[in-house]
A and B are shown apart, each in its own frame.
Chain A
Amino acid sequence: MSLRLEPRDNASVGLKLGVSLAAGLIALLLVAIPVLFAGGSPLNAYGLMLQGAFGSMFALSETLNRATPLILTGLACAVAFRAKLWNIGAEGQLYIGALAAVCVGSGLLQLPPALMIPTVMIAGFLAGGLMMVIPTIIKQRFGADEVVITLLLNFVVILFIQMLIEGVLKDPMALGWPQSVPLIAEAKLPKLLPRLRMHWGLIVGLVAALILWLMVRKTVLGFEIRAVGENKAAARFAGIPVDATMLKVALISGGLAGLAGVGEVAGVKGYLSSDLSPGFGYSGIVVAMLAGLSPIGTVIAAVFVAAVFVGADSMSRATGISSYIADLVVALSLLCVLVGSFFLRFRVKFERRQVEA
């Protein structure tokens, strides 16, 4: 027997889905090993995780609630990575978006909800977008690496937020807790269903995914983003304004991450604190990679990652196995998807060596 690799011309959609699914399954198989070591039964643990993530209306709501910011940060990364703009700063953009929501929505403006909510969202989008546009301009003007700038800005932003919520934005009614003044009721995103935490941010995320999907396929902007991302030299030669296109991508990418922050403040917490996001911005990178940078795939990947975390929490409470197992599942899925992408580029053939007659 011998094994051969042949490059593929094109990978079909079915194959891409199959590889992603296989990657997820293999990750679950691998995680079974540490679960066994922890003294649990993998089947039981995964059953409990599934139940914890999707087993009841409450569980489903928690999963989708968790998926909401991941969809938006995932899209933020996916759209930027497609254009080869390496936005590692979704975390910081999320916080800036949340900050903008608090600035606009905590009493400065008094509008009915139908106007207030869009205003808060636009403020968050623009603030987040600006957080990505600035590093992009610095990259274009001075050649500074956007990976470094956006990554480091995350820490700058979080410290800045801490300063504000300990200072001018501090809520005097919060019994000394470092949190901002709350949003007014008109600025809050309505819940999707009574008594469940799921909110309209989820719809925003789904619509954003749909718009991005249409944008990539159907619009001139999407065409130009693809051209710039896939061959910058040819795009420039053909007259596509490369820098302007990159700035548009930066605005969209940062803006989507900013919307994730708006959703968390206006849909879940009601105020800004420095623990608003448990790393949604970084997880967005994983979500985008799991999705192969496809907008629709990002929604699926975000729900998967959210389900793993929510399910693992619930499983951990029932079995005593550490909920860190969730990080393991997500990390191994990512590795498996990266390995799987190899099979999208190459066809593996097994064949019998022909024996000479």
Chain B
Amino acid sequence: MTDAPVLLSLQNITKRFGPLIANNAISLDLHRGEILALLGENGAGKTTLMNILFGHYVQDEGDVCVLGDDGALATLPPGSPGAALKAGIGMVHQHFALAENLTGLANIRLGTEPLLSFGRESAARAKVRKIITESGLDVDLDRRVADLTVGEKQRIEILKALYRDAKVLILDEPTAVLTPQEAEGLFVVLRRLAENGLGVIFISHKLGEVLSVSHRILVLRAGTKAGELVTAQADRRAIADLMVGKTVAEVVRVPAAPGKILLEFDNVSLQSGGRQALSRVNLQLRAGEVVGLAGVSGNGQSGIAALISGLAVPNSGAMRLYGQDVTRASPRDLVNAGVARMPEDRQHDGVVGTMSVADNIAIEDVRSPAFSKMGLLDRKAMRERATAAIAGYDVRCPGPDAEARLLSGGNVQKLILARVLERDPRVILANQPTRGLDVGAQAEVHRRILAARDRGAAVLVISEDLDELFALADRFLVAHAGEVSDAGPSDGLDRGTIGLMMAGQARPPVGIAS
């Protein structure tokens, strides 16, 4: 592989954001026909590096060099996406840049031709067709992008880059939005593109897919190059350690010792947006037990989360906390009663982006004597709590006064964990607790949840990730079409049964009482 000519070379790229060094003297070479994986935790500097390469950011030091038509490496002017495009660098962002109201073909042509161009469509179509045949990127070019699936939109994005004669294709977290089958399809395409001579940079924090698709792996950690290895010789464990910089302890779950019922739903029904979100749901959360709620998204999980968060009131039925009725309790009532809630959409519901880290950590408790006296905020106490939380939960941020919007997704989740777990809650709702988090952060969140369980908290984990549920849950519930059925203890339960119940096909095992 390494005998192939170098297509792209990054030389000692350094980029600082204020006191934070996002990239510290990073160098990499990409060869023709190679798939290079850029692996790292959230906030390791992967996206920053690619944004410099593509000209969205200007590096403080270092050069980006691309193989020119004359066979020599030429330095790209920094901060010019136009120059990067012209030099044959194509980028597929995590969030697509497509005009939803235009067809796939129109999106591919967009920006490549003068404003008034007639009769060129057939030529363009022929070129795209040829690319499709060569790459296997099959997609209907004449449908509006709005009507395409996420996977198809991604294909349009890749075609867009190839149509502009990309020599280097950069994909930023391409599988984050794909189903496992779609992701497999993408890998097939990428391998084929590489065989045809393209250089591919594949950004990811998922170890498994990196191992299956790449030729070479570059690991970034905290802005520096932590290691570079050939995939065929790489060991999963070693890479994980390189990524997080320390040995990742496997989370071990000891058997639960369920105590008394802390939170109980009694025949709860909920209407939301004109449809029946929950119908006659019964569930019990016991002290010292993690209950996993599995289900395909949109089968009533958000209704249960809204009820436990105090954001909705059931249309019928009752909700009891420690035996007391909390059916109509407000979010503040529940928080004060010792319920910890982690929202599904943490950026939207979890933090006020324009307020500081300290403010966001104190937000549930501003009225408590810990943070205010006679209506006046105790800024010192808030800052102290935040400083302790930043250290204790490893929230990476410039400090307690930094605005929360500057934090990455994983760090926002750690902030929320610090906020809710430091109150020593008795009931915990963890809704998609590790969605979008990297390995290190995931293990940390799991460890914290299990530690809370061992202290006697009752935990409900809602997740679409079965691996996560099997790692955490002592008992399984499955949501389907607004009904929740009990799948029993997780020991001895197999995925097949859960899968069938998620599809609404199987009855719960008989004879298992909650």
Contact = CB atoms under 8 A, between A and B. Distances in A.
B78 A354 contact: yes
A353 B352 contact: no
A236 B372 CA distance: 19
Given A239-B310, A239-B332, A356-B75, A234 B376 contact: no
Main secondary structure of the interface of B (DSSP, over half): mixed
Contacts of A357: 75
Interface in A316-357: 349, 351, 353-354, 356-357
Contacts of A227: 352, 355, 359, 363
Contacts of A10: 403
Contact of B80 (A2, A222, A238): A2
Contact of A223 (B18, B335, B359): B359
Contacts of B335: 238-239
A221 B331 CA distance: 17
A236 B331 contact: yes
Given A237-B343, A354-B77, A230 B354 contact: yes
B349 A220 contact: no
A234 B349 contact: yes
B481 interface: no
B372 A237 contact: no
A218 B372 CA distance: 9
Contact of A234 (B310, B352, B372, B406): B352
A236 B311 contact: yes
B77 A224 contact: no
Contacts of B331: 236-239
A241 interface: yes
B205 interface: no
Given A4-B58, A239-B310, A239-B364, A9 B18 contact: yes
B181 to A, nearest CB: 33
Most buried by A among B332, B348, B366, B367: B366
B353 A231 contact: yes
Contacts of A234: 348-352, 363
Contacts, number: 94
A66 B354 CA distance: 35
A352 B352 CA distance: 38
Nearest to B363: A238
Contacts of A230: 352-355
B74 A233 contact: no
A240 to B, nearest CB: 7
A214 to B, nearest CB: 9
A41 interface: no
B79 interface: yes
A351 B75 contact: no
A219 interface: yes
Contacts of B17: 9
Most buried by A among B309, B310, B363, B403: B363
B310 A218 contact: no
Given A223-B366, A239-B335, A353 B311 contact: no
A274 B466 CA distance: 70
Contacts of B311: 236-237
Contacts of A223: 359, 363, 366, 377
A240 B363 contact: yes
B366 A353 contact: no
A226 interface: yes
A237 B310 CA distance: 8
B352 A351 contact: no
B276 interface: no
A357 B77 CA distance: 11
Contacts of A4: 58, 79
B389 to A, nearest CB: 15
A239 B75 CA distance: 54
A235 interface: yes
A220 B350 contact: no
A240 B353 contact: no
A4 B81 CA distance: 11
A224 B336 CA distance: 17
Contacts of B363: 223, 227, 234-235, 238, 240
A290 to B, nearest CB: 21
B74 A356 contact: yes
Interface in A1-50: 2, 4, 6, 9-10
B377 A233 contact: no
A218 B359 contact: no
B376 A218 contact: yes
A52 B333 CA distance: 59
Contacts of A354: 75, 77-78
A220 B330 contact: no
Given A4-B58, A237-B309, A237-B350, A353 B330 contact: no
A151 to B, nearest CB: 28
Contacts of B359: 223, 226-227
B155 interface: no
A220 B369 CA distance: 11
Most buried by B among A219, A223, A237, A353: A237
Contacts of B330: 239, 241
A227 B364 CA distance: 11
What 6 A-B pairs have minimum CB-CB distances, sorted nearest first? A239-B332, A239-B331, A231-B352, A238-B363, A237-B349, A239-B335
11 contacts: A9-B406, A218-B377, A220-B372, A226-B355, A233-B348, A237-B350, A239-B333, A239-B334, A241-B330, A351-B79, A353-B80
Given A230-B355, A351-B58, 16 more contacts: A4-B58, A9-B406, A218-B377, A218-B379, A220-B366, A223-B359, A234-B350, A237-B311, A237-B331, A237-B350, A238-B364, A239-B364, A351-B79, A353-B80, A356-B74, A356-B75
